[in-house]
Amino acid sequence: MSMLLTSAGVLDGAAHDALLELLGKPISESTTVVLLDAMLPFPGDKGGMLDHVQQYRSLGWAECDVLTLTSGPASGIEARLRAADVIFAYGGTNHWLAHTWRATGLAPALRELIDTKVYVGMSAGSMIFSTLHAAAVEALDDHEEVAMLELESVGPALPLFDWFFFAHLGADYFPHATDEWAQQTATRLGGEAWFLSDGSALVLRDATADPEVVSGQHWLHFDADGVLVGSA
Protein backbone atom coordinates (compact mmCIF):
# COMPACT_ATOMS: atom_id res chain seq x y z
CA MET A 1 0.00 0.00 0.00
CA SER A 2 1.30 3.43 -0.99
CA MET A 3 -1.12 6.16 0.06
CA LEU A 4 -0.33 9.85 0.40
CA LEU A 5 -3.11 11.81 2.08
CA THR A 6 -2.63 15.54 1.63
CA SER A 7 -4.51 18.70 2.46
CA ALA A 8 -3.54 20.68 -0.65
CA GLY A 9 -1.82 18.36 -3.11
CA VAL A 10 1.76 17.56 -4.07
CA LEU A 11 3.07 20.54 -6.01
CA ASP A 12 6.01 21.17 -3.67
CA GLY A 13 7.41 20.63 -0.18
CA ALA A 14 7.20 17.52 1.99
CA ALA A 15 4.24 16.01 0.12
CA HIS A 16 6.08 16.26 -3.21
CA ASP A 17 9.14 14.58 -1.72
CA ALA A 18 6.95 11.82 -0.27
CA LEU A 19 5.33 11.25 -3.67
CA LEU A 20 8.71 10.76 -5.31
CA GLU A 21 9.75 8.30 -2.61
CA LEU A 22 6.52 6.28 -2.95
CA LEU A 23 6.68 6.33 -6.73
CA GLY A 24 10.23 5.03 -6.87
CA LYS A 25 10.91 6.45 -10.31
CA PRO A 26 10.95 9.88 -11.97
CA ILE A 27 7.66 11.64 -12.62
CA SER A 28 8.75 11.97 -16.26
CA GLU A 29 8.57 8.17 -16.52
CA SER A 30 5.23 7.87 -14.72
CA THR A 31 1.57 8.13 -15.65
CA THR A 32 -1.24 9.59 -13.56
CA VAL A 33 -5.00 9.95 -13.61
CA VAL A 34 -6.84 12.85 -11.96
CA LEU A 35 -10.31 12.22 -10.49
CA LEU A 36 -12.55 15.30 -10.40
CA ASP A 37 -15.75 13.81 -8.93
CA ALA A 38 -15.48 15.55 -5.57
CA MET A 39 -15.50 19.08 -7.00
CA LEU A 40 -18.09 18.80 -9.77
CA PRO A 41 -21.29 18.74 -7.63
CA PHE A 42 -20.62 22.35 -6.56
CA PRO A 43 -21.93 25.08 -8.89
CA GLY A 44 -19.92 28.09 -9.96
CA ASP A 45 -16.60 28.92 -11.55
CA LYS A 46 -14.06 26.11 -11.79
CA GLY A 47 -11.06 28.24 -12.74
CA GLY A 48 -9.21 27.37 -9.56
CA MET A 49 -9.68 23.64 -10.15
CA LEU A 50 -8.45 23.95 -13.73
CA ASP A 51 -5.40 25.90 -12.56
CA HIS A 52 -4.61 23.22 -9.97
CA VAL A 53 -4.93 20.42 -12.53
CA GLN A 54 -2.62 22.28 -14.91
CA GLN A 55 -0.10 22.85 -12.11
CA TYR A 56 -0.24 19.15 -11.26
CA ARG A 57 0.20 18.26 -14.94
CA SER A 58 3.20 20.62 -15.13
CA LEU A 59 5.10 18.39 -12.70
CA GLY A 60 6.14 16.61 -15.89
CA TRP A 61 4.11 13.39 -16.11
CA ALA A 62 4.64 11.09 -19.08
CA GLU A 63 0.84 11.01 -19.33
CA CYS A 64 -1.87 12.82 -17.36
CA ASP A 65 -5.40 11.46 -17.81
CA VAL A 66 -8.43 13.26 -16.34
CA LEU A 67 -11.75 11.60 -15.60
CA THR A 68 -14.76 11.21 -13.35
CA LEU A 69 -15.95 7.85 -12.10
CA THR A 70 -19.17 8.33 -14.07
CA SER A 71 -17.65 9.58 -17.33
CA GLY A 72 -18.02 6.22 -19.06
CA PRO A 73 -18.78 2.55 -18.47
CA ALA A 74 -17.33 1.21 -15.24
CA SER A 75 -15.16 -1.26 -17.16
CA GLY A 76 -13.56 1.57 -19.13
CA ILE A 77 -13.01 3.72 -16.06
CA GLU A 78 -11.43 0.79 -14.22
CA ALA A 79 -9.09 0.13 -17.14
CA ARG A 80 -7.94 3.76 -17.13
CA LEU A 81 -7.36 3.64 -13.36
CA ARG A 82 -5.34 0.45 -13.70
CA ALA A 83 -3.23 1.98 -16.47
CA ALA A 84 -1.97 4.79 -14.22
CA ASP A 85 0.97 4.71 -11.83
CA VAL A 86 -0.61 7.39 -9.63
CA ILE A 87 -4.30 7.95 -8.87
CA PHE A 88 -4.83 11.55 -7.76
CA ALA A 89 -8.22 12.31 -6.18
CA TYR A 90 -8.91 16.05 -6.23
CA GLY A 91 -10.77 17.88 -3.46
CA GLY A 92 -14.35 19.02 -3.02
CA THR A 93 -17.04 17.02 -1.25
CA ASN A 94 -15.82 13.83 0.36
CA HIS A 95 -19.40 12.63 0.74
CA TRP A 96 -20.06 12.63 -3.01
CA LEU A 97 -16.68 11.14 -3.86
CA ALA A 98 -17.18 8.24 -1.43
CA HIS A 99 -20.75 7.75 -2.67
CA THR A 100 -19.61 7.65 -6.31
CA TRP A 101 -17.02 4.94 -5.69
CA ARG A 102 -19.74 2.80 -4.13
CA ALA A 103 -22.57 3.70 -6.55
CA THR A 104 -20.50 2.88 -9.65
CA GLY A 105 -19.45 -0.46 -8.22
CA LEU A 106 -15.80 0.57 -8.45
CA ALA A 107 -15.02 0.44 -4.72
CA PRO A 108 -13.74 -3.18 -4.87
CA ALA A 109 -11.39 -2.16 -7.67
CA LEU A 110 -10.18 0.76 -5.55
CA ARG A 111 -9.29 -1.70 -2.78
CA GLU A 112 -7.07 -3.60 -5.22
CA LEU A 113 -5.62 -0.46 -6.76
CA ILE A 114 -4.37 1.05 -3.50
CA ASP A 115 -2.27 -2.05 -2.98
CA THR A 116 -0.58 -1.78 -6.38
CA LYS A 117 -0.62 1.94 -7.29
CA VAL A 118 0.27 5.17 -5.53
CA TYR A 119 -2.94 6.81 -4.32
CA VAL A 120 -2.75 10.56 -3.64
CA GLY A 121 -5.67 12.31 -1.98
CA MET A 122 -6.15 16.06 -1.83
CA SER A 123 -8.55 17.24 0.88
CA ALA A 124 -11.80 15.34 0.10
CA GLY A 125 -9.73 12.73 -1.71
CA SER A 126 -7.99 12.03 1.60
CA MET A 127 -11.22 11.80 3.61
CA ILE A 128 -13.00 8.78 2.11
CA PHE A 129 -11.43 5.84 3.93
CA SER A 130 -12.55 6.22 7.56
CA THR A 131 -15.07 4.21 9.56
CA LEU A 132 -15.85 7.58 11.18
CA HIS A 133 -17.26 9.04 7.96
CA ALA A 134 -20.83 9.32 9.25
CA ALA A 135 -19.66 10.64 12.63
CA ALA A 136 -17.73 13.37 10.82
CA VAL A 137 -21.00 14.69 9.35
CA GLU A 138 -22.10 15.44 12.88
CA ALA A 139 -18.71 16.76 13.98
CA LEU A 140 -18.48 19.13 11.00
CA ASP A 141 -22.21 19.90 10.78
CA ASP A 142 -22.19 18.78 7.14
CA HIS A 143 -25.96 18.17 7.05
CA GLU A 144 -26.60 20.96 4.53
CA GLU A 145 -24.02 19.55 2.14
CA VAL A 146 -25.43 16.03 2.44
CA ALA A 147 -28.94 17.38 1.77
CA MET A 148 -27.70 19.32 -1.28
CA LEU A 149 -26.24 16.09 -2.64
CA GLU A 150 -29.56 14.29 -1.97
CA LEU A 151 -27.78 11.45 -0.21
CA GLU A 152 -29.96 9.29 2.01
CA SER A 153 -26.89 7.97 3.84
CA VAL A 154 -23.15 8.57 3.91
CA GLY A 155 -20.16 6.33 4.44
CA PRO A 156 -16.61 5.73 3.31
CA ALA A 157 -15.63 4.56 -0.14
CA LEU A 158 -13.64 1.93 1.75
CA PRO A 159 -13.52 1.52 5.56
CA LEU A 160 -9.74 1.19 5.81
CA PHE A 161 -8.98 2.78 9.18
CA ASP A 162 -10.59 4.04 12.39
CA TRP A 163 -9.33 7.63 12.37
CA PHE A 164 -10.44 10.67 10.35
CA PHE A 165 -8.46 13.11 8.21
CA PHE A 166 -9.34 16.83 8.43
CA ALA A 167 -7.78 19.20 5.89
CA HIS A 168 -6.79 22.88 5.68
CA LEU A 169 -5.85 23.54 9.30
CA GLY A 170 -4.91 27.22 9.58
CA ALA A 171 -5.65 28.00 5.92
CA ASP A 172 -6.43 31.65 5.16
CA TYR A 173 -9.41 30.63 3.02
CA PHE A 174 -10.85 28.61 5.94
CA PRO A 175 -10.58 31.19 8.74
CA HIS A 176 -12.61 29.03 11.08
CA ALA A 177 -10.03 26.20 10.90
CA THR A 178 -8.09 27.19 14.01
CA ASP A 179 -6.50 24.98 16.65
CA GLU A 180 -9.49 25.73 18.90
CA TRP A 181 -11.89 24.58 16.17
CA ALA A 182 -9.83 21.41 15.75
CA GLN A 183 -10.05 20.66 19.47
CA GLN A 184 -13.81 21.15 19.50
CA THR A 185 -14.30 19.09 16.34
CA ALA A 186 -12.16 16.24 17.66
CA THR A 187 -14.20 16.15 20.85
CA ARG A 188 -17.48 16.00 18.89
CA LEU A 189 -16.11 13.31 16.58
CA GLY A 190 -15.63 10.77 19.34
CA GLY A 191 -12.76 9.09 17.48
CA GLU A 192 -9.11 9.52 16.60
CA ALA A 193 -8.47 12.54 14.36
CA TRP A 194 -5.66 14.10 12.36
CA PHE A 195 -5.81 17.77 11.35
CA LEU A 196 -3.39 18.72 8.59
CA SER A 197 -2.27 22.11 7.31
CA ASP A 198 -1.84 22.61 3.59
CA GLY A 199 1.89 21.91 3.94
CA SER A 200 1.42 18.59 5.72
CA ALA A 201 0.51 15.06 4.67
CA LEU A 202 0.21 11.50 5.93
CA VAL A 203 1.84 8.44 4.36
CA LEU A 204 0.22 5.03 4.77
CA ARG A 205 1.99 1.81 3.87
CA ASP A 206 -0.25 -0.42 6.00
CA ALA A 207 -3.88 0.39 6.88
CA THR A 208 -3.50 -1.32 10.27
CA ALA A 209 -0.44 0.76 11.27
CA ASP A 210 -0.18 4.38 12.35
CA PRO A 211 0.33 6.82 9.47
CA GLU A 212 3.64 8.61 9.01
CA VAL A 213 3.53 12.42 9.15
CA VAL A 214 5.45 14.22 6.43
CA SER A 215 5.39 17.89 7.16
CA GLY A 216 7.21 21.14 7.22
CA GLN A 217 4.18 22.85 8.72
CA HIS A 218 1.43 22.57 11.31
CA TRP A 219 -0.56 19.46 12.24
CA LEU A 220 -2.52 18.14 15.22
CA HIS A 221 -3.30 14.58 16.30
CA PHE A 222 -6.10 13.82 18.80
CA ASP A 223 -7.02 10.50 20.37
CA ALA A 224 -10.56 9.13 20.55
CA ASP A 225 -11.24 11.15 23.72
CA GLY A 226 -10.32 14.41 22.03
CA VAL A 227 -6.98 14.64 23.86
CA LEU A 228 -4.07 16.15 21.90
CA VAL A 229 -1.42 13.42 21.56
CA GLY A 230 0.84 14.92 18.87
CA SER A 231 1.48 18.20 17.11
CA ALA A 232 3.98 20.30 15.21
What percent of the chain is predicted at pLDDT more than 90?
Answer: 98
| Domain region containing 208 | 2-231
The tens digit of pLDDT for each residue in 61-116 reads: 999 999 999 999 999 999 999 999 999 999 999 999 999 999 999 999 999 999 99
CA distance 61 to 63: 5
Model pLDDT, residue 46: 97
CB 149 within 8 A of CB 95: yes
CA distances from 149 to 38, 43, 140, 153, 186 (A): 11, 12, 16, 10, 25
CA distance 44 to 155: 26
The tens digit of pLDDT for each residue in 142-199 reads: 999 999 999 999 999 999 999 999 999 999 999 999 999 999 999 999 999 999 999 9
What's the total number of domains in the chain? 1
Read off the CATH number of the domain in which 93 is found: 3.40.50.880
